[in-house]
Amino acid sequence: MNILVNLVKIRRLCSPLWAALVFGLISQTLSAQIVDNVDVVPTTEGYDLEIHFITPLRYQNYAPTQPTKTLDIFLKIENIADQTFYNSLNESVELSWDNSIPTALVELTYDGELADNPRITARFKRALTFNVRASKDLRAVIISVIDPQLAQTQANQQQSSSGTSIDLLIAKLQEEDVALAKILQQANQSMLDKDYSKAVRLLSKVRDESSGEVQQRAQELIGVSREFNGQLAQAKAEYTQYLQDYPNSEGALRVKQRLAAIITAAQQPKQRLRAAKNSKQINNDEWQTQFYGSVAQTYYRDETTPEDQSSQLIRSDLNSDLDFVAKVNKGNVELGTQFVGSYRNDLMTDGKGSEFIPSIAYVDGKLGEQGLYARVGRQSFNSAGILGRFDGARLAYEVNDNYQINAVLGYPVNYSDKSAINSNVNFQGLSVDISSIWTGWDFNAFYISQQNHQVKDREAMGGEIRFRDNKKSLFTLIDYDILFNDLNIFLFIGNWNFSESNNINVVVDYRNSPILTTNNAIQGQGVSSLDQLLEQYSEDELQQLARDRTAKSQSVTSSLTHQFNQDWQMVGEVTYSKYGETLSSAGIEGYPASDNEFMYSVQLVGNKVAFDTDTMILSWRYSDSTRSTTHTLNTNWRFNIKNQFRINPRLRLDYRKSKLNSDDRWMLRPLIRLDYRYERWLKFEMDLGYEWLNETFSEIDRTTTGYFVSIGYRAQF
């Protein structure tokens, strides 16, 4: 119990300064890798959860489609430029959000166990209805939570804080016009019955035939009824009319806030410069603060036992993680900071292999009315020619609702030394965002230049084209390097809901692999930085070596999602890919091109399979590559025992057969994941797994076994 008492004390005492002093670290949690932040945006029906990523992700589907306490969202990673970055995504962590905003959300988790097929799991206090969609730029998934209980509470609070109550107005009006008072009473009852169309008709009659306070309140309530009825454009017009007619009334601030909420909800989930200001800081003369995050500690242990040998300890370390967001705002000004990071204590080497890993550490600020935004520090971004995490600054100026100008400069993070600033490599870039000039369409154009030890490393231009309506969406990314006169990336992602239960996705991906930079010349040269080759080669020769080390890759993927019913759905996917050759030069032998390679997969998701609260995911994948064929079978079953305790057994079976000889490999990997939520803010977690590996190579058969375990806790504040 002492540990729980201490954790309670931690939660009560936690502040940005205290957290930094106690932990003195920044964490490599997954939120720093792929999830940028989570926003909670109130709506008339509940709220939206906007999960922002640092790179485009393809949203596939969600399950179940019926009201539920636990929601799974399935994603696909398409645009990872750095393989080191890609390989770091196979983790699962709990994400933080602003819990000062009322929601029924209990837990939000990113599960990257299968790095190319991650999923988000959201758990709620009660069964709710959801709609899920991707943003136009594919860098966010928006969960629209329909929460009647919360919406009604907010409506009641709105009515109770809106000055003179309707009942008092009805009583006052009865002294002057009994017939009109009866109409107002009917309008009030229609709002309570959620018959908002009828309420609008009745309130319009009251407004047109009354004056003074009754007319003023009727005008406001017409806007509220239209808003609750989903008629946001009409509600916006009614609120605007109210502010024109009654600019200095006691209800003006209240109506401004409702109008700003509609404007904010209509924006694409991107940086909302002016809109964000309007939604929270109107007539706000006091500093408002937000602070939320989590702390965690997890012990990891991996041990393997080769055949006829003693066991070998592969990993034994203690990870201490911290992430938090702090914001203050007053009137036109909003300031914030985000801090994410970890300290890994290597227990195998008595701390010699320990490392301190900065992931995210920045401050940012907005001047809402001026449309200005700045973020300075370690941050992640994968747009406008930026290829991942960097130390530097991003600046933005919102010219108007349709145009935003951006500038960026900084140093890309060196993944071999994450704790240091890579000052030998620097970049500068400009971009412009164009939105809503045509219905459904957004555009982005960029230019970026990068230097490596005073040598031109990369100079590129390109942009994005985005479209979305109720049935279909498309996203196109182009990155053309004008230094090498070569197309670095062409990515097209299209989605079409062609019926209520069927959805098709198409992805076309053509790119250099790795992304073409002069730094590619160091591959195979036994050096760690470009300056070590400058005495041997000229800049032109280095650029040619970089071309020789860079291959062309292309792939086309098509997937179909079919909803059988509310509990069962299936996703089928076919992928064609081909990897080009690299050339021999400077003593380094090139690699031949691959054959045409194909991958086929099927995923079946079921709910209420054995219990009312369980979810089962079954998947099979077959890969036909140049050198081998591989079958992979995955099962994942999750169920709850009461609300606090969750059990998640998993099983993976692989079989790989070589095309070049008789070599093959079997791998079996069962795992059980347990988590117990002691309080809403405190959870204990444990993973326990076993691995059996049987390999045959050069007619030698060998079996290796091993186990892995992790145990820890996470506390939110």
Mean pLDDT over the full length of the chain: 83
- Report the pLDDT averaged over residues 293-297: 92
Between CA 353 and CA 363, with CA 359 as vertex, the angle to 5 degrees is 140
Query: Per-residue confidence at 68, pLDDT binned at 50, 70, 90?
Result: confident
| Cβ neighbours, 10 Å, residue 198 | 16
Tokens of 506: 């198409």
Chain segment 345-375, per-residue pLDDT in tens: 999 887 788 888 878 899 999 987 788 999 9
Chain segment 71-130, per-residue pLDDT in tens: 989 888 765 544 445 545 566 778 888 877 788 888 888 887 765 678 899 989 888 888
3-class SS of residue 514: coil
H runs (alpha helix) in 332-415: none
3-class SS of residue 449: strand
Chain segment 237-265, per-residue pLDDT in tens: 888 888 888 888 877 877 887 787 776 55
Tokens of 429: 């870039």
Question: How many percent of the chain have pLDDT more than 90?
Answer: 37
Query: Per-residue confidence at 23, pLDDT binned at 50, 70, 90?
Result: very low
The number of angstroms, rounded, from the C-alpha of 189 to the middle of its chain's C-alpha atoms is 42
The burial class, CB within 10 Å (0-12 / 13-18 / 19+), for 565 is: exposed
Q: Can you name the residues that pair with 320 across neighbouring β-strands?
A: 297, 343
- Report the pLDDT averaged over residues 475-495: 94
The residue that leads in pLDDT, 78 or 611, is: 611
- pTM for the structure as a whole: 0.74
Chain segment 561-594, per-residue pLDDT in tens: 999 988 899 999 999 999 999 998 888 888 899 9
Q: How much is the pLDDT for 557?
A: 94
User: DSSP states of 572-589 as a string?
Assistant: EEEEEEEE-----BTTB-
Q: How much is the pLDDT for 171?
A: 76
The burial class, CB within 10 Å (0-12 / 13-18 / 19+), for 550 is: buried
- Report the pLDDT averaged over residues 34-45: 80
Query: Per-residue confidence at 208, pLDDT binned at 50, 70, 90?
Result: confident
The domain ranges of the chain are 2-147+269-716, 163-250
Tokens of 332: 């036109």
Task: Work out the widest C-alpha separation in the chain, in whole angstroms.
Answer: 101
- Report the pLDDT averaged over residues 591-609: 92
**Whether the predicted pLDDT of 546 surpasses 50:** yes
Residues making up the chain, counted from first to last? 717
**Whether the predicted pLDDT of 27 surpasses 50:** no
Q: Which residue has the tokens 């071309």?
A: 547
- Distance from first CA to last CA of the chain, Å, rounded? 20
Q: How much is the pLDDT for 21?
A: 28
Which amino acid, 77? I
User: What is d(CA 68, CA 205) in angstroms, rounded to the nearest whole number?
Assistant: 41
Query: Per-residue confidence at 162, pLDDT binned at 50, 70, 90?
Result: very low
Chain segment 402-433, per-residue pLDDT in tens: 899 999 999 998 877 777 788 899 999 999 99
Stretch (H or E) spanning 647: strand 645-658
The contacts of residue 533 (CB under 8 Å, 6+ apart) are 521, 522, 525, 527, 542
Q: How much is the pLDDT for 280?
A: 43
User: What is d(CA 589, CA 582) in angstroms, rounded to the nearest whole number?
Assistant: 8
Pick from 111-115, 180-184, 223-227, 480-484: least confident:
111-115
**Whether the predicted pLDDT of 324 surpasses 80:** yes
Question: How many percent of the chain have pLDDT more than 70?
Answer: 87
CA distances for 265 relative to 50, 224, 652, angstroms: 11, 15, 42
**Whether the predicted pLDDT of 20 surpasses 60:** no
Chain segment 261-281, per-residue pLDDT in tens: 776 555 545 545 554 444 444
Q: How much is the pLDDT for 38?
A: 87
The residue that leads in pLDDT, 619 or 641, is: 619
Q: How much is the pLDDT for 25?
A: 31
Secondary structure of 650-661 as H, E, C letters: EEEEEEEEECCC
- Report the pLDDT averaged over residues 680-706: 92
Residue 470 phi/psi, 5° resolution?
Answer: -70, -20
Q: How much is the pLDDT for 265?
A: 55
